[in-house]
Amino acid sequence: MSSSKVPVRLKKQVSQRAQGCCEYCRNQLRFTNQSFSVEHIIPKALGGKTTLDNLALSCQSCNNHKYDKIQGKDPLTGEIVSLYHPRQHEWKHHFAWNDDCTLIVGLSPTGRATVITLQLNKSGLINLRRVLFSLGEHPPATPVQ
């Protein structure tokens, strides 16, 4: 087994913990045709380990935009801050849904930087959220860590 691979056992644990939702944008696997990945929150290139507390379920879009980043720029203050870490931060302390649940609003410097860096409000996601909301399928009922 290559050292760059996440063991199947850990992938299953991460996927079950996330309950089928991207841990960043809350996109639901059951309503998308894009693949989801188990990603290293702190990238291996920056010393991150392949352990349960450093792995998150991520949609392809969030994974691609995050890549090896652990910091981003808060658009309000211009400060460079840590991005959201699903194992160390609670989603509700950094993000909220707007009134019609189509946009993720950053509540903190970390939240705002993550919304911008990972592009959590791309038009395709907004459209999907709008349709799912009208069907009573959004926001996801899964608890946010």
The stretch 77-95 carries a mean pLDDT of 98
**If 0-12 CB within 10 Å is exposed, 13-18 middle and 19+ buried, where does residue 56 land?**
buried
Instruction: Please tell me the predicted confidence (pLDDT) of residue 2.
Output: 37
DSSP code for 111: H
- The partner residues of 95 in beta bridges, in order of sequence, read 106
| pLDDT tens string 34-69 | 899 999 999 999 999 999 999 999 999 999 999 999
Q: Flag whether pLDDT at 1 surpasses 50.
A: no
Q: What is the pLDDT of residue 141?
A: 81
Q: Is the per-residue pLDDT at 144 higher than 70?
A: no
How far apart are the C-alpha atoms of 65 and 121, rounded to whole Å? Answer: 12
Spatial distance between the Cα atoms of 44 and 134, rounded to a whole number of angstroms: 40
pLDDT at 76 over 90: yes
- List, for residues 88-142, the tens digit of each pLDDT value: 999 999 999 999 999 999 999 999 999 999 999 999 999 999 999 999 999 998 6
Examine the pLDDT at 145 and tell me if it is beyond 70: no
Is the model's pLDDT at 84 over the cut of 90? yes
Give residue limits of the domains in the chain: 8-134
The model's pTM: 0.93
Mean pLDDT of 72-94: 98
